[in-house]
Structure 1
Amino acid sequence: MKILNSYKWLASVTVVVLVAVMLSGCKREEFTETTTGDVNITEYLQQDPNQFSTLSKVLQITGSDNSLGGYGTYTLFAPTNEAFAKYLIESGKTSVDQLGVEELKDLVRFHLIRDTITTDKFTDGKLRTNTMYGQSILTGAQNINGVTTLTINRQATLVKGNIRAGNGIVHVIDRVLKPSRLTLAQAIEQNPNYSIFTQALKETGFYDSLNVLPVNAPDTNKRFQTVLAQSNAVFAAAGYSSYSALKNRFSKTGDPKSVTDSLHLFMAYHILPGLKYLPDIFNASSHVTLAPLDVITTKLVNQQILVNDDTFDGKYEPGALINRAASDNTTANGVLHDMAAHYAIKVRFPIPVYWEVTDQPEFKRLTGVYRVTNKSSPNYVTGDLQDVKWQTGSVSYRVAPEARQFYVYNNDYLFIAALRTAATANSFVEFKTPLLVKGRYKVWVCFIRRGGGKGVSVLFNGEPLSRVLNLTESLPAQVLVGNRWTYPAGTSPESLEALGKKIVFGGPSVPYYNNPAQTIEYYRDSYGLLAGTIDVQKTDRHNLRLQAVADGSGDVQIDMIHFIPENMDQLYPKFNPDGSVIQKPQ
């Protein structure tokens, strides 16, 4: 390690920090952030030989005492003398002098982080910065006799935390932490419960790629990977009691090493590039896999982490549960998780997605407001909604008043206070789409005409679509024929479609709001505009942004966004204010 010049910091404040992680109904263990005057980490350890003489000796043997005696910002997990005594017994040694210098250097690196991290930043997962060894430290909580204590890497317990020295933080622990020496392949193979998964890795060729240490990885971008492994019991529950049964089901070419073979793709679908601990898994809605163009979707539901828990084509598809207790296993080249249920690539073909943008979890929780006539939500500011982002200002959920129907689906819509280019105004709103199967789709933005949105560019994953939309224009006025308000002369569904426009509602029995004895199938201020065609490269949820490219005051009201395969009928079905869906007449 590089030796730094020694500077001493003065510290004078003592504050009390409560451990952030606690279990309901349990006592909470408190750690006081103490200061050490002007001493650095090395000097602090040397001043307490009853606890840290062995650690001080290790730092001296490795030369690390110089670095930790100088300027810097470190976090050190400091094993006590008793902790080292246990480590030496496990190693068959009687003194740290009998351990190799390189082993001791690795040990120091694994206990040292070039960052200052106090216990209030300890969460149920990895710390924000890796150790100087390159692997992550995991923290968590355990309940012992009604007291919640903090665990470090599932190997040690925090004895005393938040000791602030002049160049960092010291956390005292009761065991020496051991970095993982096994590769992902080795860790999986050594567990007999993964024998089917292991053989499948070997037969498909993935075992070799998962058996490479980061330092030897030919591609530096692929040094670390994450595996979602299935045990023999999980395979058996899915009907595959042996590797042969699994191969017979999935291998269509007879050569599992072929990248086009279904067994090869099945295994690739269980491997994610990069380091993905559980918080990384559930904090993102989807993850790329080694199966080309196929992703897994993930979500956290009541503390359960589910893979591919989706609603597709209007049908709920239950997800596969990740076994949290047996996951987050760090290896030398990645992270290993344990699946509690079987999952596989789902063969899907492009289907239309008629997405009601008010279908947001935050809106659905509005009891007494959601889909209740003439009700509206409080204003939301950016960051309040999980899957909708915007620049500034507010959005809200609204239901049309009974006296003024807008002929939108379920009578509700998303109200955006502004969508304009003025410097102080909101200039965009961005949605996370529902799951879209890879394929080509026409995209329709369905809305209520208002004063805002005079020029709107639609971007799919950052790429602009072909048309700029004007959300302030009205269609030609509807006309009354008998008791039915309908299309004016010279205007038809087909002529509108040719112009990139369509009426979204319809059917024989939509009541006209001014006179319920009359019906309506066409309304000039509620319709859809074609934004263009997208080419969805992978099945996933994607980003769709409405970006202002012209100024003009007024609000914007969005009803639905349609993603319809380009070779399908673009005009049907129709979506009515009462929630009914009208299919194309035969």
Structure 2
Amino acid sequence: MKAKKQIGRWSILIFLGWVLTWMSSCKDGFEDNTYTAYDETPIGLYLKNNADEYSLWVQVLEKANLYNTLNLDAIYTHFAPINAGVERYLKTINLGSVNDMTEEQAAYLVRYHLIPHAEIEFAQFQSGAINELNATDDNLFVEFRDGGLEAVYLNGVSRFNSYDIRATNGIIHSIDDVLVPLVETIYDRLEERQDWSLFRELVDLTGYREKLETVYTETTDPMGNPIQQRFKYTVFAVSNETYSKAGIQSLQDILDKLEVSAGGDYTDPNNLLNKYVGYHLLAQQRSYADLGQFPENVFKMNLQTMAINELVKVSESGAGLVLNKNEETQESISFLEMNIACKNGVVHEVNDWMPLFSPEQVEVIWEFTDYPDIEANVSQYRNTNLGSQYNKTFTASELTNIIWSARPEYKQNVLTYRNNRPTEGNWYNLLNHDHLRAELGESGWVEFKGPTIVKGKYKISFIWPSPKHSSNTGICAFVLDNEMLYPRLVISNSREERNLTQVLGTVDFTETTDHTLRILSLDGHLITMDRLQFDPVE
């Protein structure tokens, strides 16, 4: 998704400061800073000039003291409800007029309908979560229903009635109804759906409830200051009706089906009931569209579940995505309901009780930025519309899937996440536009806990952004599962900044399990890392 240049160079630097004042200011802080460009208009003014459609929403903007924010020289995508939708919303919350709202209510509502820093056109929508977060740090979800352009919905409740209304500072999409900000967690969704009661009971018994009902995890930074980490999950839910079709009516039935003794410790990750429930969970949010993001010329992939060393297979079919397709029988699991949005992730309902499945070998992408704890600690994680380069340097306490030992041990700024903007050429062209950078010192190392990979023989390739340098720098070695894989690779090159690929060797995994990769720094200079690729060898 392409973001346009901001007109004023100063706007990027002070925008974050402006955002912090949105919900605390008693006066619209930008009423003297608005602009127009000839016969074009910014978002706020456009909405005011079209009062027959948006006058009530303009009242909400003004109540929130954010009207002039939407006239700033900046970049936004704004979802604007029409008057009839605002009237329905006020009636739903038992208010007689916009004036009866508090400033805080109005401000949160406006922020929920606003995506800063990005212009997102209709052509860029796909079924599932919009990658760019709105101003309340949430994903909004697009749903395409039968009926073409007249049946596209936002968060499953508000129909789009007009797309791509151009303003001087962004894009407006007109919607029929006000979006009610999501507060329901995944566990809330499981509770409110009585037809999922058995699955919810299994979640309770196996100890996954706490994760699925938590939005923010409270922790501290190295200085002892409180910080919040936000983890998101994906759930493949099974209804009581689907269980019934498999002969499962109760907890005892499923224990019998799994051959699990009643009364055991179901919270033990090695318990078969625990593994069964964990198999229905992914440790990151994956909308339906995300599940279908296959590598080029690949039409199936295996995803790591929260069950130890268990994979769910996702495949393309003529009718959309399916799970755990048996290549011999052609049987598979379909989606009954997709993209049920939650504050901490997404739920999909499947048409099978979905027992553990052993998939075949497929191409595996081990991306070094694809970890839940990286996503939880990065504010611009995989944002495709950056106005400026984003860097996040980690401390050891922030990550559990990546560890390192620097030289000297007290060395700072060892591991950095970088997300690149569209103008940065080969750096932006990396997978998901991001990568990791390590400066470990001579003889330092960084180690990654990797994904579960189906047993078999694979060719392993390393892909990285190679910086231009007059002499060899960033010399490193690769150790896979405590065995030397490749003894010497030079990260830099003398020609130009470019993305390179090096085959590291061939391995034969004798069991389906996860793996560890250690990268050793031989000269202490910068090491840039994007991903490993495992290609099955016949």
What TM bracket, shorter-length normalisation? 0.5 to 0.7
Q: Tell me which amino acid in the other structure corresponds to 2:154.
A: I
Q: Shift of residue 215 of structure 1?
A: 6.2
After superposition, where does 1:151-550 map in structure 2 within 5 Å?
A: 151-214=153-216, 223-250=231-258, 251-252=260-261, 254-284=264-294, 285-311=301-327, 315-316=328-329, 318-323=331-336, 326-346=337-357, 465=485, 533-535=507-509, 538=512
Aligned partner of 2:69 in structure 1 is: 67
Cα distance change of structure 1 residues 143 and 101 upon mapping to structure 2, 3 Å threshold: same
Q: Shift of residue 87 of structure 1?
A: 0.7
> Separation in 2 of the partners of 1:143 and 1:111?
25
Cα distance change of structure 1 residues 167 and 343 upon mapping to structure 2, 3 Å threshold: same
Normalised to the residue count of structure 1, the TM-score between the two structures is 0.54
Q: Secondary structure of 1:64's match?
A: coil
Q: 2:125 aligns with which of 122, 125, 135?
A: 122
Query: In the TM superposition, what whole-angstrom CA distance separates every residue of 1:356-391 from its partner, at most 9, and x where no partner exists?
Result: xxxxxxxxxxxxxxxxxxxxxxxxxxxxxxxxxxxx
Cα distance change of structure 1 residues 217 and 297 upon mapping to structure 2, 3 Å threshold: farther
Q: Is the 8 A contact 1:162 1:169 kept in 2?
A: yes
> Separation in 2 of the partners of 1:535 and 1:6?
62
Aligned partner of 1:389 in structure 2 is: none
Q: Is the 8 A contact 1:143 1:149 kept in 2?
A: yes
> Separation in 2 of the partners of 1:343 and 1:240?
12
> Separation in 1 of the partners of 2:343 and 2:536?
45
> Separation in 2 of the partners of 1:255 and 1:167?
57
Cα distance change of structure 1 residues 303 and 159 upon mapping to structure 2, 3 Å threshold: same
Cα distance change of structure 1 residues 75 and 537 upon mapping to structure 2, 3 Å threshold: farther
Q: Shift of residue 99 of structure 1?
A: 2.8
Q: Is the 8 A contact 2:127 2:288 kept in 1?
A: no
Aligned partner of 2:37 in structure 1 is: 10
Q: Shift of residue 140 of structure 1?
A: 3.5
Normalised to the residue count of structure 2, the TM-score between the two structures is 0.59
Q: Tell me which amino acid in the other structure corresponds to 1:202.
A: D
> Separation in 1 of the partners of 2:129 and 2:166?
21
Q: Shift of residue 242 of structure 1?
A: 1.1
> Separation in 2 of the partners of 1:52 and 1:141?
24
Q: Secondary structure of 1:328's match?
A: strand
Q: Shift of residue 222 of structure 1?
A: 5.7
User: What runs of 5+ residues in structure 2 fail to find an aligned partner?
Assistant: 1-18, 22-28, 221-226, 295-300, 363-450, 461-476, 489-504, 516-534
Q: Secondary structure of 1:305's match?
A: strand
Q: Is the 8 A contact 2:216 2:229 kept in 1?
A: no
Q: Shift of residue 156 of structure 1?
A: 1.7
Q: Tell me which amino acid in the other structure corresponds to 1:208.
A: E
Q: Shift of residue 75 of structure 1?
A: 0.9
Q: Tell me which amino acid in the other structure corresponds to 1:256.
A: Y
> Separation in 1 of the partners of 2:164 and 2:454?
50
After superposition, where does 1:31-50 map in structure 2 within 5 Å?
A: 37-50=39-52
Cα distance change of structure 1 residues 155 and 438 upon mapping to structure 2, 3 Å threshold: closer
After TM superposition, the structure 1 stretch with the greater mean CA deviation from structure 2, 93-102 or 270-279, is: 93-102
Q: Secondary structure of 2:161's match?
A: strand
Q: Is the 8 A contact 2:158 2:177 kept in 1?
A: yes
> Separation in 2 of the partners of 1:562 and 1:101?
62
> Separation in 1 of the partners of 2:536 and 2:303?
24
Q: Is the 8 A contact 1:283 1:299 kept in 2?
A: no
Q: Tell me which amino acid in the other structure corresponds to 2:344.
A: N
Flag the structure with larger Rg.
1
Cα distance change of structure 1 residues 536 and 74 upon mapping to structure 2, 3 Å threshold: farther
Query: In the TM superposition, what whole-angstrom CA distance separates every residue of 1:169-217 from its partner, at most 9, and x where no partner exists?
Result: 1122111112222110111111111010011111111112211123658
Q: Tell me which amino acid in the other structure corresponds to 1:318.
A: E
Q: Secondary structure of 1:306's match?
A: strand
Q: Is the 8 A contact 1:293 1:537 kept in 2?
A: no
Q: Is the 8 A contact 1:140 1:151 kept in 2?
A: yes
Q: Is the 8 A contact 1:80 1:173 kept in 2?
A: yes
Q: Secondary structure of 2:67's match?
A: helix
Q: Is the 8 A contact 1:436 1:536 kept in 2?
A: no
> Separation in 1 of the partners of 2:40 and 2:236?
48
Q: Is the 8 A contact 2:43 2:170 kept in 1?
A: yes
Q: Is the 8 A contact 2:150 2:161 kept in 1?
A: no
Query: In the TM superposition, what whole-angstrom CA distance separates every residue of 1:68-127 from its partner, at most 9, and x where no partner exists?
Result: 121211011111121110111111211123234333222112211121112222233333
Q: Shift of residue 58 of structure 1?
A: 1.4
Query: In the TM superposition, what whole-angstrom CA distance separates every residue of 1:213-262 from its partner, at most 9, and x where no partner exists?
Result: 23658996662111100111111222211122113433347121222211
| Count of paired positions | 361
